[in-house]
Amino acid sequence: MKPAGFLCKIDKLGRIVVPKPLRTKFDLNIDDTIELFTDDDSIILKKYRESCVFCGGDEELVSFEGKTVCKHCIAKLSKI
């Protein structure tokens, strides 16, 4: 990981502010969802993007019984 050059404090409610240059760089907007991951002693933030439960693709997605599936995988499943 490379340092971003920003220090952020955690407020009383456990929140941090992501600095504007980072929000711009990673296309983070109001009401976007962020995923949190851990790796040893690190916390990793990643912009959440819906993806197909089968192939991980993120184009032409549909919701089916609470799961997200792409049209390509739906076509494959219809042949089973």
* pLDDT one digit per residue (tens) for the chain, 80 residues: 677 788 999 999 999 999 999 999 999 999 999 999 999 999 999 999 899 999 999 999 999 899 999 999 999 999 99
The Cα–Cα gap between 3 and 22 comes to 12
pLDDT computed for residue 64 by the predictor? 87
pLDDT the model gives residue 5:
83
Cα gap 43→8, rounded to integer Å: 13
**Structure confidence at residue 29 (pLDDT):** 95
